[in-house]
Amino acid sequence: MDSFKLPSVTMPALKLPQSVQAVLKEAEQKLGHRPRLLKQFLNCFPNTLETTTKLMEDGTTFVITGDIPAMWLRDSVEQMMHYTPLLADDQDLQRMVSGLIRRHVHCAGIDLYANAFNEAANDWHWNAGDETEMSPWVWERKFELDSSCFTIRLAYAYWKETGKADIFDAGFKEMLLGIMRLWKTEQRHQEQSAYSFSRSNCPFHDTLRSGGRGMPVNYTGMIWSGFRPSDDACDFHYHIPSYMFAAVSLSQMQEIASLVFRDSRMAAEMAELEGEIRHGIELYGKYRHPEFGVIYAYETDGYGNYSLMDDAGTPGLLSIPYLGYASSDDEIYRNTRRFILSKHNPFYYEGAAARGIGSPHTPEGYIWPMALSMQGLTASTDAEMLEMIALLEATDAGTGYMHEGFLADDPSVYTRPWFAWSNSLFAGLVHQALKKNLL
C-alpha cells in the first residue's frame, strides 16, 4: 500500500476525553513495574484520538487510518472500538463516536460499495485509473462485505453502552434498507449485480479477474464479496469470516429495527437473510481436515473449492469469538484455531523472535501485531493472553508503537510505522488484561 506518493494530511490534536485520561492514569499506577509496556500503552491507547481523528463542523467525525489520508470504514471503527466501554458517562467521547457513526451514514449515502472515503469531495483516489463507478468522495471502491458490518458494530455498541438512540435517525434507517438491498443483490452477484472493479499495472491480488467481475460462484445464500479485509481480492468470493460477521450484524440490525424503528416487517426481512447466510456457512463453509477435524474454510466458491488459511485482518477465522459468531470454546472454532495457528496455515510464520499469523498483503515471513493482539483477545486462558502481551511488548522495535507487520526473525524490520488500527487493538488487549487484574 505504499507504491506511490500519498497526499499529506495532518489531523488536529484533540483534547483527550476525561474517561481516556482516567485509563491512562490507572495504567501508570498498575504498569510501573513494566516500563516498556507502560510506554506502549500510553502511546497506543490515545493514538487514534491524538493523531487520526477530526471533529467536523457538520457534527460528524472523520478518522484516517494513519499514514494514508483516507477513512476506511473498517479501520475507523476498529480504531475506536477500544473506547466504547468508556462511553456511558463521557459526553465528549460520545460526540466523537456518534460523529463517526454519522459520518459512516453519510458515506453510505454516497456509495455502499466503497471501502474508503475522502474527508471532502476532493477527487483523491488510491488509483486514478480504477475502472469502476467512482465518486470524488471515494478514495477506493473495493467491495468488502465487512465494511458495512463494522458500521453496524459501532452503532450497536454505542447504543448499548450509552442507552442513547439519537444516532438512529431517518438517514440511519435508509442506510439499513440500502445495505439489505445491496446484500440481497450480491447473493446473486453474477445474475443481478452491476458492480465490477478493475485496476491495471498492479499486483494480481489488487484487482478482480474476469473483466472485473471476479471468479464464478455457485448460489449458496451467502453474499458475494470482491475483496478481503486486507483489501486483497478474494480467491473464492465467499469469504466465510465476513458472512459470520454479516450474520451477527443482521441480528443486531433486527434489534434496532424492532426496538427503535418499530418496523416488524423490516426486522423479518433481516431475520430471513440472516437465516440464509447461516445456512450457507454451515452447508458450504466447513471443511473436514484429516488432522484437525471439521474446521471453517477461509473462502469457498460454493462449487467445492476452498481456501484453507487465515489472514491477520479482521474479520478472520481467528476473530470468530471477537465478532460474536461463536464462543472460544466452540468445538469447530477450537479445531479451526489449532489449524490456523500451525504451519498448515500458509500465512503462519515462526522465527527467532516470534510466531504468528501474517498476510499475503505483506512479504513472506512477516507477522502482524494485529493477529497477535487478536490471539490474545480470543484466548481461552489468561496465560495465553499474557503470553501475547509479552510477545507484543518485545517486538515493537523500540518504537513504543505497533506496526503492520514485522519480520519473524527480526522485529526491527517492519512495515507501516504509523498504523492506528494495530495500536488500538493492542491497547484494547492490554486494557482488558488490566481490567482482569492480570498485569
How much is the pLDDT for 12? 75
Cα gap 300→314, rounded to integer Å: 18
> Which residues share a beta bridge with 367?
406
Residue 233 DSSP code: B
Cell numbers for 277: 447466510
SS3 category, 299: strand
Cβ–Cβ < 8 Å for 388, 379: yes
How much is the pLDDT for 201? 83
* Angle 282-197-278 from CA coordinates, rounded to 5°: 10
Question: In this predicted model, what pLDDT tens digit does every residue of 136-154 receive, in sequence order?
Answer: 999 999 999 999 999 999 9
Beta strands in 237-379 (DSSP E): 238-239, 286-289, 293-296, 299-300, 306-307, 348-350, 355-357, 366-367
Give the mean model confidence (pLDDT) for residues 76-91.
98
Q: Kindly indicate the confidence band of residue 195, based on its pLDDT and cuts at 50, 70 and 90.
A: very high
Q: Kindly indicate the confidence band of residue 204, based on its pLDDT and cuts at 50, 70 and 90.
A: confident
How much is the pLDDT for 391? 98
How much is the pLDDT for 203? 81
184-to-63, 178, 224, 327, 419 alpha-carbon distances in Å: 29, 10, 10, 28, 34
H or E element at residue 139:
strand 138-140
SS3 category, 406: strand
Question: In this predicted model, what pLDDT tens digit does every residue of 163-192 receive, in sequence order?
Answer: 999 999 999 999 999 999 999 999 999 999
Give the mean model confidence (pLDDT) for residues 99-126.
97
* Angle 229-232-236 from CA coordinates, rounded to 5°: 90
* Residue 1, amino acid: M
The percent of residues above 70 in pLDDT, for the chain, comes to 98
Give the mean model confidence (pLDDT) for residues 85-111.
98
Q: Name which of 387, 284, 297 is nearest 339 in CA terms.
A: 297
How much is the pLDDT for 439? 96
Q: Is the pLDDT of residue 1 over 50?
A: no
* Residue 223, amino acid: I
Sign, Cα dihedral of 429, 88, 46, 4: positive
Cβ–Cβ < 8 Å for 145, 243: yes
68 vs 135, which has greater pLDDT? 135
Domains of the chain: 52-346 (1.50.10.10), 347-439 (no CATH)
How much is the pLDDT for 235? 96
418 vs 54, which has greater pLDDT? 54
H or E element at residue 415:
strand 410-415
Question: In this predicted model, what pLDDT tens digit does every residue of 352-395 receive, in sequence order?
Answer: 999 999 999 999 999 999 999 999 999 999 999 999 999 999 99
Q: Kindly indicate the confidence band of residue 9, based on its pLDDT and cuts at 50, 70 and 90.
A: low
pTM here is 0.96
List, in order, residues 6 or more apart from 9 with CB less than 8 Å away: 64, 69, 119
H or E element at residue 427:
helix 420-435
DSSP-derived secondary structure for 30-79 = HSTT-HHHHHHHHHHTTHHHHHTEEE-TTS-EEE--BSSSSEEHHHHHHH
Average pLDDT, the chain: 96
Give the mean model confidence (pLDDT) for residues 247-254.
98
Q: Rg of the chain's alpha carbons, rounded to an integer?
A: 21
How much is the pLDDT for 338? 98
How much is the pLDDT for 414? 97
H or E element at residue 105:
helix 91-110
Cell numbers for 72: 476506511
Q: Is the pLDDT of residue 103 over 90?
A: yes
How much is the pLDDT for 2? 39
